[in-house]
Structure 1
Amino acid sequence: MIDFILPLFGRFHPILVHLPIGFLVFGVILIFWFGKKYSAYAPVIELAFLFGGVSALAASISGFLHYQNEGYGWDTVKFHLILGILTTLLAFGLWYHLKKAAATPTQLKIKGASLLMLLTITGHLGGNITHGDDYFTEVLPPALQSLLGGGNSIAKPLELPADNWEEVEFYTGAIQPILDQNCKSCHNPNKLKGELDLSSFKGIHKGGEDGAILEGENAEKSALYSRLILPEDHDDHMPPKDKRQPRKEEIELIKAWIESGSSEKTKLGDAALHVSLVEPFFKKNEIPFYPIVDVPALGQDSISKLRKEGFFAEIVKKDSPLLKVSCINFPAFSDSDWHLLRSAQDQIVYLDLTGTAITDALLDQIALLPNLTVLKLNQTAIEGSGLDKLAENKNLKLLYINDTEVGFDKLGALDGHPTLEKIFAFNTAAANSGNSSQFSFHMETGNLSLPPLATDTIVY
């Protein structure tokens, strides 16, 4: 009934360690602060080291119990524990020295400085155990982490190649990444929770304090799988409910691995898996909407100048040289004002000329924007003459000509455009003039109708 007392006291270790730090640092400061005049304050200094020694002893005992009951490896805690004991002994030594000495000798300051250094190293090692060796470095930029000999310790989610996933090794390429992300933080050589190491194939097959976690090819009887599917509030559910939980697709993959024989070298293709089981993990090669180009960023003063001229101008995303430019606040913009945008010619990927005074003649200039991706010509005097010039915009994806006089016949000039995906032509002459399905791009005309519903006639 009282077996919980020692493990509970061990869990107080992270709290208790702060007491000796406070008392001992305070005592060392007083030694150097008062110097030879310490005799007047000797009772306070003695008390600081006495309390520091007692609390350091309590912290050492609780730390040992924490190591015994929480599954930490000896190699992980040994230096921290040994230095903690030395800190305790030195604290009591200073208390005894102060109690017996009639004056403050130089040796006392040396001992105080040594204690402070020992306390710092002990605390640093304890912090590494609690937070990891990269606690301070993990927030640094990757380049600086590498310079300091560190790296990103966060396990990446499982990703599989869609084209040749059958050639990926089941264990090393799929199962271990899942365990690294969800289980390794508590089950690794440095922290053997339940004496179980899930960071290696050997550790998985060895099992833990409760025995084997794999039972042949029976996933239901294998603790590695069966404890994952228990209700989260169940005492035996793993990972604990306050930890990151694996996705159901990851759990199913673990089940399939066990039922395939839990081999180290078997490939996914050899396990006769259905593609639907691995499909959620296929690496998605996302194609960016805007082009990836090496162009110089426009200076902030140049962007500010565009804004002063009346344009709305901003970068598409942080640290990108690409620009969005709109004339929403510059309706008087006309063909003759194009020179105002020439400084940003290479950077503009989004250009909104809606409601301005431009004409078809400006299409010659727009064609010179090499990275233009979105072009809005809504509510302008554009009639479509010269739309063929937009074939020069090799990155153009979306074209808006809503509320213009552009005819259906003019759109044929853009048929076969290498990148154009969609033209929005609401309320235009082109909207009802032909079969848009003949084009290589999709045309949105807005001529949609919904079937009437019985509820539409209900009178409330």
Structure 2
Amino acid sequence: MINFILPLFGRFHPVLVHLPIGFLVFGVILIFLFGKKYETYSQIIQLAFLLGGISALLASLSGFLHYQNEGYTWDTVKFHLILGILTTLLSCGLWYHLKKAVLTPVHLRIKGAVLLTIIMLTGHLGGNITHGEGYFTEVLPPELQSLLGVEFSNTEPLELPYENWEEIEFYTGAIQPILDQNCISCHNPKKLKGELDLSSFKAIQKGGEEGKILVAKNFEESALFTRLVLPEDHEDHMPPKDKRQPRKEEIALIKAWIETGASDKAKLGESKITERLIEPFFKKNEKPFYPTVEISMLPLDSIAKLRDHGFFAEVIKEGSPFLSISCVNFPEFSDSDWYLLQAAKDQIVYLDFTETEITDAIVEKIAMLPNLTVLKLSKTAVSGAGFEKLVSNKNLKLLYINDTKVGFEKLGALDGHPTLEKIFAFNTSAADSGNYSQFSFHLETGNLNLPPLATDTIVY
């Protein structure tokens, strides 16, 4: 019943370890500040090292219990533990030395500096154990990490190429990346929870303290799979419920690997798995919505000037040179006001002229915006004359002409546009034509008719 006490005390190590650091650093600071007046401050300095030595002893004991009960290997913790014990001995020794000294001890500052150095080394090694050796370096750019000789593992979600996926090795290309992301933090050569290492095929075959976890072609007897599908609140469920849980598609892939022999050499194509099973892992080559060209940013005073004229002007995202321009607060904007936008013609990607006083004459001006992606002309006097000029907008994707007099025949000028994806034409004569499928773009008219259901005629 009381067997939990020692493991529980071990888990207090991350809390207890801060006490000696605070006391001892405080004592060293006092030495450097008042070393020449040691006799005056001797009692408070001695107290700092006494409390530091006692708390260092408690931290060392809890750390040893933590190592014994949490699956850490000796090679991982030995230097941290040895330095922790050394810190305890030096702290207690320094306290005893100070207590017996009548005058200021010789080389007191040097002794304090040595103790402080050992504390820093001990803390650094402890931080490596808790957060990993790359805790400080992992935030650095990959180029700088390589320059420093840092080896970093890839824990990104599994992605497979659509082309030639059959040639990828099932284990190294699919299974190990899943284990690296979900399991490796607790089951690696430096931290063997349950004496289990999941960092290599050989280690997986070896199993852990409860025996083998992998039985080829029998997923029901393979703990590598069965523990993944237990309820999250089950004591044997892995990973623990407070950890990141693998996706159901990842679990299905592990099951398929076991079913097909759990080989470290077989390729995905040889395993006779379906493309549907691995489809969720195909790389998504998503094209950015806005252009990716390099252009200069519009000066802040120029953007401020646009706002002074009445435009709602803002960058589409922080650090981007592209602008979103709206006339929501400038309804009197007309064709003659175009010159106000001339300075930003390269940066405009989103342009909203809704409910302004523009006419078809402005289309020729709009055609000169090289990066325009979204254009809104709704509730204006635009009729579609000159729409063929919009073919010059090589990045235009969305066009809004709701509540205008644009006719169906005018839209033909945009058929075959290289990038245009959709035109919104609610409440227009184009919406009344009923023939929308002939264009290369999608025409959204809002005239949606749902098929009648049998339940619509039931009287309750």
Q: What's the TM-score once normalised by structure 2's chain length?
A: 0.93
- Whether the aligned pair in 1 keeps the contact of 2:27 and 2:45 (CA below 8 Å) is yes
Q: Corresponding residue for 1:428?
A: 428
Which runs of 5 or more structure 2 residues have no equivalent in the other structure?
Answer: none
- CA separation in 2, counterparts of 1:229 and 1:300? 55
Structure 2 CA distance for partners of 1:236 and 1:389, relative to 1, 3 Å: same
Q: Following TM superposition, by how much is the alpha carbon of 1:155 offset from its aligned partner in structure 2, in angstroms?
A: 1.1
- CA separation in 1, counterparts of 2:227 and 2:317? 44
1:119-175 Cα deviation digits (max 9, x unpaired): 111111111211222333445566665666558767100111122211111111110
- CA separation in 2, counterparts of 1:426 and 1:328? 19
User: Secondary structure of the residue that 2:443 maps to in structure 1?
Assistant: strand
1:257-284 Cα deviation digits (max 9, x unpaired): 1122211121111110012211111111
Q: Corresponding residue for 1:28?
A: 28
1:328-349 Cα deviation digits (max 9, x unpaired): 1111111111111111111111
- CA separation in 2, counterparts of 1:387 and 1:152? 54
Q: Corresponding residue for 1:223?
A: 223
Which runs of 5 or more structure 1 residues have no equivalent in the other structure?
Answer: none
1:381-415 Cα deviation digits (max 9, x unpaired): 21222111111111112212222222222222112
Q: Corresponding residue for 2:54?
A: 54
Structure 2 CA distance for partners of 1:348 and 1:152, relative to 1, 3 Å: farther
Q: Following TM superposition, by how much is the alpha carbon of 1:250 offset from its aligned partner in structure 2, in angstroms?
A: 0.8
1:48-99 Cα deviation digits (max 9, x unpaired): 3223222212221221221122111222211111111111111122122112
The amino acid across from 2:3 in the alignment is D
- Percent identity, aligned pairs only? 75
1:268-306 Cα deviation digits (max 9, x unpaired): 111100122111111111122222111111121111111
1:238-264 Cα deviation digits (max 9, x unpaired): 111111111111111111111222111
The amino acid across from 1:283 in the alignment is K
> Is residue 2:81 matched to residue 1:81?
yes
- CA separation in 2, counterparts of 1:409 and 1:34? 91
Q: Following TM superposition, by how much is the alpha carbon of 1:445 offset from its aligned partner in structure 2, in angstroms?
A: 2.4
Structure 2 CA distance for partners of 1:178 and 1:368, relative to 1, 3 Å: same
User: Secondary structure of the residue that 1:96 maps to in structure 2?
Assistant: helix
Q: Following TM superposition, by how much is the alpha carbon of 1:46 offset from its aligned partner in structure 2, in angstroms?
A: 2.6
Q: Corresponding residue for 1:258?
A: 258
TM alignment of 1:9-48, pairs within 5 A: 9-48=9-48
User: Secondary structure of the residue that 2:177 maps to in structure 1?
Assistant: helix
Structure 2 CA distance for partners of 1:5 and 1:402, relative to 1, 3 Å: closer
- CA separation in 1, counterparts of 2:370 and 2:237? 57
User: Secondary structure of the residue that 1:351 maps to in structure 2?
Assistant: strand
Q: Corresponding residue for 2:122?
A: 122
Q: Corresponding residue for 1:413?
A: 413
Q: Corresponding residue for 2:5?
A: 5
Q: Corresponding residue for 2:180?
A: 180
- CA separation in 2, counterparts of 1:36 and 1:361? 87
Structure 2 CA distance for partners of 1:212 and 1:386, relative to 1, 3 Å: same
Structure 2 CA distance for partners of 1:154 and 1:304, relative to 1, 3 Å: farther
- CA separation in 1, counterparts of 2:48 and 2:10? 24
Q: Corresponding residue for 1:295?
A: 295
Q: Corresponding residue for 1:322?
A: 322
Deviates more, 1:446-455 or 1:306-315: 446-455
The amino acid across from 2:196 in the alignment is L
Q: Corresponding residue for 2:158?
A: 158
Q: Corresponding residue for 1:388?
A: 388
- CA separation in 1, counterparts of 2:226 and 2:430? 63
- Whether the aligned pair in 1 keeps the contact of 2:98 and 2:105 (CA below 8 Å) is no
The amino acid across from 2:282 in the alignment is F
- CA separation in 1, counterparts of 2:248 and 2:312? 46
The amino acid across from 1:273 in the alignment is I
User: Secondary structure of the residue that 2:306 maps to in structure 1?
Assistant: helix
TM alignment of 1:361-380, pairs within 5 A: 361-380=361-380
TM alignment of 1:216-365, pairs within 5 A: 216-365=216-365
Structure 2 CA distance for partners of 1:300 and 1:153, relative to 1, 3 Å: farther
User: Secondary structure of the residue that 1:438 maps to in structure 2?
Assistant: coil
- Whether the aligned pair in 2 keeps the contact of 1:27 and 1:48 (CA below 8 Å) is yes
Q: What's the TM-score once normalised by structure 1's chain length?
A: 0.93
Structure 2 CA distance for partners of 1:261 and 1:449, relative to 1, 3 Å: closer
- CA separation in 2, counterparts of 1:272 and 1:407? 55
1:318-367 Cα deviation digits (max 9, x unpaired): 22111111111111111111111111111111111112222212111111
> Is residue 2:111 matched to residue 1:111?
yes
